[in-house]
Structure 1
Amino acid sequence: MKILLIGEYSRLHNSLKEGLEALGMTVTIAGFGDYFKNYPVDIRFENSFNSGIPFLIKKVIYKLTAIDLNSVFIKRQFENHKNHLKGYDIVQLINENPFNTLPKTEKLLLDFIFRHNKNVFLLSCGTDYISVKYAFDKKFKYSIFTPFEQEKVPKANYWHILKWQRKSYKKLHDYMFKNIKGVLASDLDYHIPLIGNKKYLGMMPNPINLEKLDYINLKVTDKIVIFHGINQKNYYKKGNDIFEAALDILKKNHADKIEIITVKSLPYAEYIKAFNQAHILLDQVFAYDQGFNALEAMAKGKVVFTGAEQEWLDYYNIEEDTIAINAEPDAEKIARKLEWLILHPEKISEISKNARAFIEKEHHYVDVAKLYLETWESKLSENATPKIL
């Protein structure tokens, strides 16, 4: 079976590819590699207007002419690659705007994908129309939009989220849902908004390749090492300011007991090595479930402060503070949890082992790949060229 995975966030599609290949599938990834993280892809698209002077040039030209250089150049790249983007048994799109072009161009590119492939599925991973609407309707008690509502982040920095409130992106969403075989969610933050949707096929746990992530049994013999990885572009969205405030509180009373490692915007290969010697990893605040960074750190035996809300505890039937630590948007609460671990270092070893066991049970990349295959196959069409609506 030939499978095309379009788009890449946080190594999700790479890990899924590895699981599918272990099951004998032929898999191709097309995408940007998630920019500075530089994940491997088989068919690479480049976005040369994402930052710096090219970004400013793009903004000026768009303002003067309504021409989006990003869309123009990605469409050109698509034309060069299109012979390698057809004839697959299954295609999965990583979100509703996988080529990162404006809706008019995106629809043209997706139209080709739908016409030249048998079965196209959508993964709700990253912001999309449904998850954004759910959050803005305040159905979550907090979300990645909370910093925007608190006016910590300028509107321009939230463009990739706020765009889903525009009519053109709503139309793109409608077009997508008319033509896909079904939509899947990568974790609870996307699963919850999709509950009850007719196209929804269920949650697929993020696949973690445990063969690439050795468990590191770090005993607490001296200082407890706390790792804080900052994505500068998403500093407030990930709650990095709250983590830093919590660390400042902690340092007042326990500076002699801790060592803090802070890194900023590292490529994936460097990032995954940088926290090897850490006992505790600070991941993100505004989430109900764990993303890829948290899960890979848990696989390596880290005590991770991340999304671990009651909904997550209920879904997996586990107890609070036994596998991951829920990082609420409250610096004092996070500091108290950190202090608890410092004063009870035996808990670090206990949670570390539990975290690895949880990933092995719920997120093993081959098991998750099987779940994807079973779900896709339940919707396979006999028609090679589905009708475009």
Structure 2
Amino acid sequence: MRILLLGDYSKLHNSLKEGLIALGNEVILVSDGDDFKNYPCDYSIRPKFLQSFGVRKIKNLVFRITKFDICDLERGIRFYFLLKKLKGFDAVQLINERSIKTTVSFEQYLLKKIFENNNKVFLLSCGTDFVNTQFLLKNSLKYSVFTPYFNNETDLKCYSYMLYYVSKSHQKLHRFVYENCAGVIASDMDYHLPLLNYNSYLGLIANPINTDEISYCEPEINDKIIIFLGINRYSYIRKGIIFFEKALAVIKEKYADKIEIIITENIPYTEYIKLYSQAHILLDQVYAYDQGYNALEAMAHGKVVFTGAETEFLEHYNLSEDEVCINALPDENDIVAKLSLLIENPKKISEISKNARSFIEKEHDYKVIANTYLTTWFEK
């Protein structure tokens, strides 16, 4: 089969591509690399001209005056010139309703060409979109990425990106994609819950993790327990990083001679992996019900990850609390208590580490997940 994957978040489509190729399929991935993460792809639509040093000042001036990022236009133009290569695929999957990340009208035009020139087009819900943003704005969950917004703990600017997806202009694009795609797939529980009442929903397919390339490293604690926190400044508020920082301040004072803390900010994916490889514990995010790709990959390496692991996730996979990862709540005292338990009981780190790797191999193997996608796409 010939498969076209449009866009990539957190290396999800890259890993899916690896699984599909391992099963004998031809796969092309088009993306902009997901900003500073710079994930690989076959055809890049990354804005280059408008990001060059001499032109960047003009771009920034236009944005300050109009709030329009002209890099969006460059992505669309680069995608337009690829259209002749993006025909005749058996299945196409969009990483998002706005997978090209250009202007609404241009995006709709380009996607119309994709719908017309290929067999089946599917939509993946693995990040912010209209459905999950609308769902979260109802404030029906005990907490979510919108909790700081509801609690007036931050200004509106921090949520402008997410709120864009419920704007009238984007809703037009949302309807167009839903009316033309063959179905919608969720990557984890955070995106599964909002889609439950949609007829176009095809179900949850877990994130694919290439366990053939990720070696398990059994934790060795000879001196200090190393705790890693990788901060993405763009999602700092929405991921609840403040709770990790407050907890680490307490832990640093409480266990100064037993721990080492590594903190990074906005670094490329390859550097991120190198830096956390030496850690025993990784702090991922708070406002989540399930694990995203970064957490899962760290679990595959054997790290004890503080992330989303709520009741819905535990019931779906038939797991006990904190069995394969630590459910990080928006409460620094709870995080301190859970970190303290691990620091004072290093054997617990080894136990969870082994459980995490086994869980990834069982539920997230990239070839098994790729086969599930193929079944979903071609039995629809």
Q: What one-letter code is carried by the residue in structure 2 that aligns with 1:183?
A: V
- The yes-or-no answer on 1:11 pairing with 2:11 is yes
Q: TM-score, normalised by structure 2?
A: 0.95
- The yes-or-no answer on 1:47 pairing with 2:47 is yes
* 3-state SS, counterpart of residue 264 of structure 2: strand
Q: What one-letter code is carried by the residue in structure 2 that aligns with 1:157?
A: C
Q: What one-letter code is carried by the residue in structure 1 that aligns with 2:331?
A: D
Q: What one-letter code is carried by the residue in structure 1 that aligns with 2:62?
A: K
* 3-state SS, counterpart of residue 20 of structure 2: helix
Residue 322 of structure 2 corresponds to which residue in structure 1?
Answer: 321
Q: Larger deviation: 164-173 or 304-313? A: 164-173
Q: Larger deviation: 151-160 or 31-40? A: 151-160
The Cα of 1:61 is off from its aligned counterpart by 5.7
1:105–1:269 Cα change, 3 Å: same
Q: What one-letter code is carried by the residue in structure 1 that aligns with 2:19?
A: G
- The yes-or-no answer on 1:58 pairing with 2:62 is yes
Question: C-alpha distance in 2, partners of 1:276/1:87?
Answer: 41
Question: C-alpha distance in 2, partners of 1:112/1:133?
Answer: 28
Residue 384 of structure 1 corresponds to which residue in structure 2?
Answer: none
Question: C-alpha distance in 2, partners of 1:72/1:280?
Answer: 41
* 3-state SS, counterpart of residue 256 of structure 1: coil
The Cα of 1:139 is off from its aligned counterpart by 2.2
The Cα of 1:152 is off from its aligned counterpart by 4.0
Residue 180 of structure 1 corresponds to which residue in structure 2?
Answer: 181
The Cα of 1:100 is off from its aligned counterpart by 1.1
Question: C-alpha distance in 2, partners of 1:158/1:98?
Answer: 19
Question: C-alpha distance in 2, partners of 1:355/1:333?
Answer: 21
Residue 375 of structure 2 corresponds to which residue in structure 1?
Answer: 374
Task: Answer yes or no: is the 8 Å Cα contact 2:76–2:103 preserved in 1.
Answer: no
The Cα of 1:35 is off from its aligned counterpart by 1.1
The Cα of 1:170 is off from its aligned counterpart by 1.3
Q: What one-letter code is carried by the residue in structure 2 that aligns with 1:125?
A: C
1:167–1:348 Cα change, 3 Å: same
Question: C-alpha distance in 1, partners of 2:157/2:330?
Answer: 23
Residue 271 of structure 2 corresponds to which residue in structure 1?
Answer: 270
Task: Answer yes or no: is the 8 Å Cα contact 1:225–1:259 preserved in 2.
Answer: yes
Q: What one-letter code is carried by the residue in structure 1 that aligns with 2:330?
A: P
Q: Larger deviation: 101-110 or 41-50? A: 41-50
Question: C-alpha distance in 1, partners of 2:35/2:69?
Answer: 19
Residue 311 of structure 1 corresponds to which residue in structure 2?
Answer: 312
Q: Larger deviation: 223-232 or 42-51? A: 42-51
The Cα of 1:349 is off from its aligned counterpart by 0.4
Task: Answer yes or no: is the 8 Å Cα contact 2:5–2:29 preserved in 1.
Answer: yes
Q: What one-letter code is carried by the residue in structure 1 that aligns with 2:34?
A: D
1:97-132 Cα offsets, whole Å, 9 max, x none, are 111122222111111111111100000011011100
The Cα of 1:56 is off from its aligned counterpart by 2.4
**1:81-160 correspondence runs (5 A):** 81-160=82-161
Residue 171 of structure 1 corresponds to which residue in structure 2?
Answer: 172
Residue 291 of structure 1 corresponds to which residue in structure 2?
Answer: 292
Q: What one-letter code is carried by the residue in structure 2 that aligns with 1:182?
A: G
Q: What one-letter code is carried by the residue in structure 2 that aligns with 1:45?
A: I
Question: C-alpha distance in 1, partners of 2:200/2:187?
Answer: 15
Task: Answer yes or no: is the 8 Å Cα contact 1:249–1:332 preserved in 2.
Answer: no
1:279-306 Cα offsets, whole Å, 9 max, x none, are 1000011100000110000000000000
**1:62-73 correspondence runs (5 A):** 62=66, 69-73=70-74
Q: What one-letter code is carried by the residue in structure 2 that aligns with 1:202?
A: G
Q: Larger deviation: 248-257 or 71-80? A: 71-80
Q: What one-letter code is carried by the residue in structure 2 that aligns with 1:28?
A: I
Q: What one-letter code is carried by the residue in structure 2 that aligns with 1:262?
A: I
Which aligned segments of 4 or more residues in structure 1 are displaced greater than 4 angstroms?
Answer: 48-52
The Cα of 1:30 is off from its aligned counterpart by 0.4
Residue 383 of structure 1 corresponds to which residue in structure 2?
Answer: none
Question: C-alpha distance in 1, partners of 2:221/2:64?
Answer: 54
CA RMSD of aligned residues (A): 1.7
1:54-89 Cα offsets, whole Å, 9 max, x none, are 5522324636xxx76234322321221111122111
Task: Answer yes or no: is the 8 Å Cα contact 2:32–2:45 preserved in 1.
Answer: yes
Task: Answer yes or no: is the 8 Å Cα contact 2:158–2:237 preserved in 1.
Answer: no
How many aligned residue pairs are there?
Answer: 376
Task: Answer yes or no: is the 8 Å Cα contact 2:33–2:41 preserved in 1.
Answer: yes
Q: Which runs of 5+ in 2 are unaligned?
A: none
Task: Answer yes or no: is the 8 Å Cα contact 1:134–1:140 preserved in 2.
Answer: no
Question: C-alpha distance in 2, partners of 1:315/1:55?
Answer: 46
Matched-pair identity in %: 51
Q: Larger deviation: 42-51 or 80-89? A: 42-51
Q: Which runs of 5+ in 1 are unaligned?
A: 380-389
Residue 197 of structure 1 corresponds to which residue in structure 2?
Answer: 198
1:339–1:50 Cα change, 3 Å: farther
Residue 24 of structure 2 corresponds to which residue in structure 1?
Answer: 24
The Cα of 1:4 is off from its aligned counterpart by 0.3
